[in-house]
């Protein structure tokens, strides 16, 4: 502009990454048009050219040349839209009636106070829009894992900056108990929620949400990202233990093996990221008894009694298995209950009542492998598991013929008869 350059105002926006150039120019034009309306009562006959690279704005007023009599006597004459022929010729002798006269509007026409007000409005509008853009950007990223750098550590929360220097908050309540960060550290966390407080976006992160573990598995296990393996449910006690139920719709893929990786190569990275959180990966099943049995791993269960109406499960174990089922700090049984949806109570099975049992795999030389697999699919992993059920129930719950079931039961029963003799 002729007298006042707005480069100082524009320089405040040079590092803005959340607002595109077109939008920024539109805001600048809008602010200047507001100033024109305030000064002249209209902006319809004004042209505004924004030059953000130069740091200035050009404004031009366009008026139509009219007869001198019209300018002096007509009520329709508007000095913002019209200019008399004699005044037009003072600008240029070549002007005629009906021509359009374009004149530059300088900042001196508005006064110093208006210029300061314009600068303030411009800065305020751009910053408001940037905040809105940041809010919208992160609102779409809720549930997504991001990496940010620690900028400041406070007692109740940590302030982080993303790669565009946007501020993010990681509250102490959303940190793993063993987390310890200092300025400059890199942190992986999931976007938990985004809120607007006092017109400022507050972006909350979390490292304790089950979603963090889910996203890490998606990153480390290609089969999950490709949809070949599905994570059915995740439960966590952050920093202590987690249980992940997975399922594969492709019989050729072992979901647990794929998630753990060769020699634990895939899961080790996740464990390290979560401060050595103990992660159990189990095969999901719709059979509640079998799911409870797997969820209580590494404990070996003797028997289970379910009440599906009240969602209670009475689990009976040998004395030496009870501590394994409960786990350190009670986390194993607590997470098993959350994973299965059952309230689990463990009971000691009296030693004198516990008879020796035999794993079904021990009978592979007498019973065909497909029969053993079918029996194990319904939770019968031992000989006594099978013998506790009637032939009719085994036929109903498996795909086996009655004659095959009876034959298998005879083989298993003979094992215990021989022991008694």
Q: pLDDT tens digits, residue range 151-207?
A: 999 999 999 999 988 999 999 999 999 999 999 999 999 999 999 998 899 999 999
Pairing status of strand 229-237 against strand 167-171? unpaired
Average pLDDT over residues 406-410: 91
CB 183 within 8 A of CB 150: yes
Stated as kind and residue range, the H or E segment containing 306 is: strand 301-307
Q: How confident is the model at residue 2 (pLDDT cuts 50, 70, 90)?
A: very low
Q: What is the pLDDT of residue 352?
A: 45
Q: What is the pLDDT of residue 350?
A: 58
pLDDT tens, residue by residue, 288-319: 999 999 999 899 998 899 988 889 999 999 88
The more confident residue out of 182 and 2 is 182
Q: What is the pLDDT of residue 259?
A: 94
Is 231 a residue whose pLDDT tops 50?
A: yes
Pairing status of strand 100-105 against strand 312-317? unpaired
Average pLDDT over residues 88-97: 84
pLDDT tens, residue by residue, 241-250: 999 999 998 8
Q: How confident is the model at residue 12 (pLDDT cuts 50, 70, 90)?
A: low
CB 317 within 8 A of CB 302: yes
Q: What is the pLDDT of residue 24?
A: 73
Is 381 a residue whose pLDDT tops 90?
A: no
Q: How far apart are CA 83 and CA 303, in angstroms?
A: 100
The whole-angstrom distance between residue 61's C-alpha and the CA centroid of its chain comes to 51
Q: What is the pLDDT of residue 1?
A: 39
Residue 421, CB half-sphere, CA atoms under 13 Å: how many? 6
Q: What is the pLDDT of residue 10?
A: 56
Q: What mean pLDDT is reported for the chain?
A: 85
Is 55 a residue whose pLDDT tops 70?
A: no
The more confident residue out of 333 and 418 is 333
For the structural domain made of 7-135, what CATH number should be given?
Answer: 3.30.1480.10
pTM of the model: 0.62
Q: How far apart are CA 219 and CA 231, in angstroms?
A: 13
Q: What is the pLDDT of residue 54?
A: 64
The more confident residue out of 68 and 368 is 368
Q: What is the pLDDT of residue 360?
A: 87
Q: How far apart are CA 374 and CA 408, in angstroms?
A: 12
For the structural domain made of 286-348, what CATH number should be given?
Answer: 3.30.300.20
Is 393 a residue whose pLDDT tops 90?
A: no
Q: What is the pLDDT of residue 7?
A: 45
Residue 55, CB half-sphere, CA atoms under 13 Å: how many? 13
Range with top average pLDDT, 13-17, 42-46, 47-51, 143-147: 143-147
* Residue whose structure tokens are 């926006």: 13
Give the 3-state secondary structure of 197-265. Answer: ECCEEEEEEECCCHHHHHHHHHHHCHHHHCCCEEEEEEEEECCCEEEEEEEECCCCCCHHHHHHCHHHH
In 3D, which of 105, 102, 65, 103 has the Cα closest to residue 87? Answer: 65
Minimum mean pLDDT among 38-42, 68-72, 271-275: which range?
68-72
Average pLDDT over residues 133-139: 91
In 3D, which of 209, 202, 271, 198 has the Cα closest to residue 238? Answer: 209
Ordered by start, the domain boundaries in the chain are: 7-135, 141-206, 286-348, 360-420
* Interacting residues of 417 by C-beta distance below 8 A, sequence separation 6+: none
- Tell me the CA distances in angstroms from 201 to 80, 138, 147, 167, 206, one per residue in order: 43, 9, 18, 9, 16
% of the chain surpassing 70 pLDDT: 90
For the structural domain made of 141-206, what CATH number should be given?
Answer: 2.40.50.140
The whole-angstrom distance between residue 309's C-alpha and the CA centroid of its chain comes to 35
Q: How confident is the model at residue 20 (pLDDT cuts 50, 70, 90)?
A: low
Q: How far apart are CA 150 and CA 215, in angstroms?
A: 21
**Number of CB atoms found within 10 A of residue 35's CB:** 19
């Amino acid at each position: 502009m002729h007298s006042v350059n707005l480069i100082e105002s524009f320089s405040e926006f040079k590092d803005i990454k959340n607002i595109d150039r077109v939008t920024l120019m539109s805001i600048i034009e809008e602010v200047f048009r507001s100033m024109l309306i305030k000064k002249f009562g209209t902006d319809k006959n004004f042209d505004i050219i924004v030059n953000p690279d130069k740091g200035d704005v050009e404004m031009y007023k366009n008026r139509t040349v009219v007869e001198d009599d019209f300018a002096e006597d007509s009520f329709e004459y508007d000095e913002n839209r019209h200019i008399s022929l004699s005044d037009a010729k003072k600008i240029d002798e070549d002007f005629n009636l009906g021509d359009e006269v374009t004149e530059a509007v300088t900042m001196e026409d508005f006064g110093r106070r208006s210029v300061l007000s314009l600068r303030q409005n411009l800065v305020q509008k751009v910053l408001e829009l940037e905040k809105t853009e940041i809010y919208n950007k992160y609102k779409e990223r809720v549930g997504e894992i991001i990496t940010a750098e620690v900028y400041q550590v406070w007692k109740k929360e940590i302030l982080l900056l993303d790669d565009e220097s946007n501020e993010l908050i990681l509250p102490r309540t959303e940190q793993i108990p063993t987390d310890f960060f200092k300025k400059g550290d890199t942190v992986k966390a999931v976007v938990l929620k985004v809120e607007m407080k006092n017109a400022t976006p507050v972006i909350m992160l979390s490292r304790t949400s089950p979603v963090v573990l889910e996203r890490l598995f998606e990153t480390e296990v290609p089969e999950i990202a490709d949809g070949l393996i599905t994570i059915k449910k995740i439960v966590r006690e952050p920093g202590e233990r987690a249980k992940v139920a997975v399922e594969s719709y492709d019989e050729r893929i072992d979901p647990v093996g794929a998630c753990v990786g060769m020699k634990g190569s895939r899961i080790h990275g996740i464990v390290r990221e979560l401060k050595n959180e103990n992660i159990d990966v189990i095969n999901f099943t719709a059979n509640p008894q079998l799911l409870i049995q797997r969820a209580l791993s590494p404990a070996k269960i003797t028997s289970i009694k379910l009440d599906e109406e009240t969602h209670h499960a009475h689990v009976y174990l040998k004395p030496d298995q009870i501590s394994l089922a409960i786990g350190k700090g009670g986390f194993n049984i607590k997470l098993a209950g959350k994973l299965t949806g059952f309230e689990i109570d463990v009971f000691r099975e009296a030693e004198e009542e516990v008879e020796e049992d035999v794993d079904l795999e021990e009978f592979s030389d007498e019973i065909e492998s497909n029969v053993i697999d079918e029996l194990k699919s319904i939770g019968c992993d031992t000989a006594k598991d099978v013998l506790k059920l009637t032939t009719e129930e085994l036929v109903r719950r498996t795909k086996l013929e009655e004659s095959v079931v009876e034959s298998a039961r005879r083989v298993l029963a003979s094992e215990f008869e021989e022991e008694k003799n």
